[in-house]
C-alpha cells in the first residue's frame, strides 16, 4: 500500500482495532505481531520509521550475560533466544561479536556476586577468574541446543600473552565470549515493516503521521500535507519510547501502565493496553 493509499484507506474507514503510536523497533514489532495474527492494526510514526532511539544504538544485541549475576535466568534465556533468532533470521545485519575480557585475579567478586544473586546488593565489583568462568559456563548452558555461536574460550596467562603480546602483563587469565552486533538497526526495522506489508496487505503503516488529540479522540496529523484525519481505534498502544509521556499528554491518556523493555530484541506477546517504556542498556 502506498502512502496515498494508506491515507485514503483511513479516510474511508477510520475505525480500527488497534492504533500503534511510534514506528521504532518496539512499535514495528508490536504492529508486525498483531498484523500477522490477523488484527486490524494501524502504525503511525511522526518522523521516518526507526529514526529515534532505534537508529542510535551502540549496536549491541545483548544475550544478557550480566543479568545472570542477579539471578534473572528467565530474562537471560529469553534474550539468548531472541539474539539467536536475529542471528538466524537477519544474518546480513546481525553478526557474532567476540568480546574478550582481561582478568586480573582469581577470587575477586565471590562475596559480592553471592550478595547480588540473593538480591542483597546492586553494587558492582571487580570479578575474578572464578566468578567469570562460572558465569560463562552458565551462559553457554543457557544458550543450549539453539547455539548459533561458539562456546566461550578461557585462557591462561601464557596463552593470552602468546596471542596478544602487547596486553597488560599483570593479568592472570582472559576469556572470550560471544554477543552479537547489529550493523544497521534502522534497516532491520524497515525490513520487518516491508515483510509485514507483504504478508498482510491490509495492515497500514504511515510515517510522517503524528498522533495528537483533537476534541473527542485521536487524530493523525499528516506532517507533509498538514491535513489531519480522525481515527477511531478500540485500543491504543503507545510505543513512543522517550516520547511516551509527551504522547500520553498529547492524546490525553493517564498512562496507567508502563511495560519495561530493554534493548533491541522484540518482545512478541503484549498485554492489553500496554505502553512500552524503553530503557537504555
Ligand atoms: C545511546 C543509546 C545506546 C543504546 N544502545 C543499545 C544497544 O547497543 N543495544 C540495544 O539493544 N539497545 C540499545 N539502546 C536501547 C534501544 O535504542 C531502545 O531500547 C530501542 O531503540 C527503543 O525503541 P522504541 O521503539 O521503544 O523507541 P524509538 O526508536 O525511540 O521509537 C519511538 C518512536 O516514536 C515516535 N513518536 C514519538 N511521538 C510520536 C507521536 N506523537 N506520534 C507518532 N510517533 C511518535 C518517534 O518519532 C520515534 O520514532 C540504546 C539507547 C540509547 C539511547
Over residues 67-78, the pLDDT tens digits come to: 887 778 888 888
Provide the pLDDT for residue 112: 66
Determine the length of the chain.
281
pLDDT tens by residue, 215-260: 778 999 999 999 999 999 999 999 999 999 999 998 887 665 555 5
Ligand 1 atom with minimal separation from the 54 CA:
21
Q: Across residues 78-100, what is the average pLDDT?
A: 92
CATH of residue 253: 3.50.50.60
CA 179 to CA 143: how far, in whole Å? 11
Q: Say if residues 43 and 206 touch (Cβ distance below 8 Å).
A: yes
**pLDDT value at position 210?**
96
At which of 125, 154, 182 does a domain end? 182
Each residue of 203-222: pLDDT tens digit? 999 999 999 988 778 999 99
- Please tell me the predicted confidence (pLDDT) of residue 116: 64
Structural domain of residue 71, as residue ranges? 60-182
Same domain, 164 and 273: no
The reported pLDDT for the residue numbered 115 is: 62
Residue 269 has pLDDT above 50, yes or no: no
- Where does the pLDDT of residue 139 fall: very low under 50, low under 70, confident under 90, or very high at 90 and above? confident
- pLDDT, position 66: 79
Do 206 and 263 lie in one domain? The reply is yes
Number of domains the chain is built from: 2
Rounded distance from Cα 250 to ligand 1 centre (Å): 18
Q: Is 27 in the pocket of ligand 1 (CB under 6 A)?
A: yes
pLDDT tens for 177-191 read 998 999 999 999 999
Mean pLDDT, residues 104-116 taken together: 71
Grid cell of 151 as nine digits:
562456546
Mean pLDDT of 168-182: 94
**How far apart are the CA of 276 and the centre of ligand 1, in A?**
10
Other beta carbons within 10 angstroms of residue 224's beta carbon come to: 10
Reply yes or no on whether the pLDDT at 134 is more than 50. yes
Q: What is the C-alpha separation between 226 and 239, in angstroms, rounded?
A: 23
Q: What is the pTM of this model?
A: 0.84
Give the containing element (helix H, strand E) for 131: helix 129-143
Claim to verify: residue 154 and residue 259 sit in the same structural domain: no
CA 82 to each of CA 44, 85, 182: distance values in angstroms, whole numbers, following the listed order: 25, 5, 13
Identify whether residues 200 and 245 lie together within a single domain. Answer: yes
Which has the higher per-residue pLDDT, 6 or 114? 6
Ligand 1 within 6 A of 83 CB? no
Please give the grid coordinates belonging to residue 33: 505481531
| 55 DSSP 8-state letter | G
The verdict on 178 and 189 lying in the same domain is: no
What percent of the chain stands above pLDDT 70? 83
- Which atom of ligand 1 lies at the shortest distance from residue 58's CA? 8
Question: How many angstroms separate the alpha carbon of residue 19 from the centre of ligand 1?
Answer: 18
In whole angstroms, what is the distance from residue 33 CA to residue 55 CA? 21
Q: Which of 182, 206, 222 is the last residue of a domain?
A: 182
For the chain, the average pLDDT equals 85
Mean pLDDT for 30-38 is 97
Amino acid at each position: 500500500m502506498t502512502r496515498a493509499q494508506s491515507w485514503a484507506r483511513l479516510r474511508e474507514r477510520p475505525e480500527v482495532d488497534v492504533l500503534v503510536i511510534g514506528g521504532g523497533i518496539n512499535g514495528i514489532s508490536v504492529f508486525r505481531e498483531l498484523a500477522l495474527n490477523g488484527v486490524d492494526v494501524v502504525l503511525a510514526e511522526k518522523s521516518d520509521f526507526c529514526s529515534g532511539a532505534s537508529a542510535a544504538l551502540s549496536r549491541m544485541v545483548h544475550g544478557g550475560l550480566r543479568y545472570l549475576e542477579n539471578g534473572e535466568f528467565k530474562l537471560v534465556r529469553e534474550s539468548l533466544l531472541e539474539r539467536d533468532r536475529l542471528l538466524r533470521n537477519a544474518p546480513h545485519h546481525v553478526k557474532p561479536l567476540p568480546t574478550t575480557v582481561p582478568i586480573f585475579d582469581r577470587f575477586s567478586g565471590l562475596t559480592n556476586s553471592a550478595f547480588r544473586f540473593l538480591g542483597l546488593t546492586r553494587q558492582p565489583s571487580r570479578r575474578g577468574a572464578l566468578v567469570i568462568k562460572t558465569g560463562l559456563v552458565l551462559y553457554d548452558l543457557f544458550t543450549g541446543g539453539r547455539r548459533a555461536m561458539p562456546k566461550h574460550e578461557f585462557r591462561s596467562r601464557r596463552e593470552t600473552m602468546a596471542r596478544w603480546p602487547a596486553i597488560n602483563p599483570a593479568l592472570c587469565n582472559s576469556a572470550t565470549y560471544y554477543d552479537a552486533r547489529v550493523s544497521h538497526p534502522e534497516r532491520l526495522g524497515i525490513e520487518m515493516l516491508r515483510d509485514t506489508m507483504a504478508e498482510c496487505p491490509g495492515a497500514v503503516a504511515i510515517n510522517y503521521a503524528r498522533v495528537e488529540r483533537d476534541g473527542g479522540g485521536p487524530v493523525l496529523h499528516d506532517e507533509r500535507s498538514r491535513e489531519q484525519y480522525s481515527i477511531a481505534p478500540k485500543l491504543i498502544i503507545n510505543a513512543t519510547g522517550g516520547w511516551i509521556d509527551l504522547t500520553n499528554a498529547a492524546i490525553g491518556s493517564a498512562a496507567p501502565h508502563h511495560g519495561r523493555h530493554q534493548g533491541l530484541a522484540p518482545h512478541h506477546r503484549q498485554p492489553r493496553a500496554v505502553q512500552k517504556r524503553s530503557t537504555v542498556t
